[in-house]
Structure 1
Amino acid sequence: MEYAGIGGLIVLALDIWAIVSVIGSRASTGAKVLWVLLILVLPILGFIIWLIAGPRSSRSVV
């Protein structure tokens, strides 16, 4: 099996979800740009940092 390919797809999906959430957040434009750049430049570490400290989407999940 090709685990690297599956892992890459999972990271890609999580990063896209994080970027969409950042864009939908109420953060300033500058903050959004910095978060998206962090997620794109450091896909795994950027996602983890966003998950812990990043802006959340303005939509309510509940």
Structure 2
Amino acid sequence: MDSTFSGLIGLIILALDIWAILNVIKSGAETGMKIIWALLILFLPVLGLIIWAVAGPRGNVRI
């Protein structure tokens, strides 16, 4: 059960990272900043996601 829970958490983090990177691409930020944000999210999946949520560029689409 422990490995199932860990796998589920990993899958959720992966989905959130993909969502964050797509939002970075949609944002109005400069291309260089988009690349930096995407790399930060890719190399630091959890920490990068948190930093992006607090300080990252906002996408054009609001929910």
TM-score by length of 2: 0.93
Size of the aligned set, in residue pairs, is 61
Q: Deviations over 1:17-41 (max 9, x none)?
A: 0000000000000000000000000
Aligned counterparts, 1:13-52, within 5 A? 13-52=15-54
Higher helix share: 2
What RMSD in Å do the two structures reach over aligned CA positions? Answer: 0.7
Identity of aligned residues (%): 59
**Could you tell me how far 1:59 is from its partner in structure 2?**
1.7
**Could you tell me how far 1:60 is from its partner in structure 2?**
3.0
Stretches of structure 1 that go unaligned for 5 or more consecutive residues are none
TM-score by length of 1: 0.94
Q: Which contiguous aligned blocks of 4+ residues in structure 1 show a shift greater than 2 angstroms?
A: none
Q: Which amino acid aligns with 2:37?
A: W
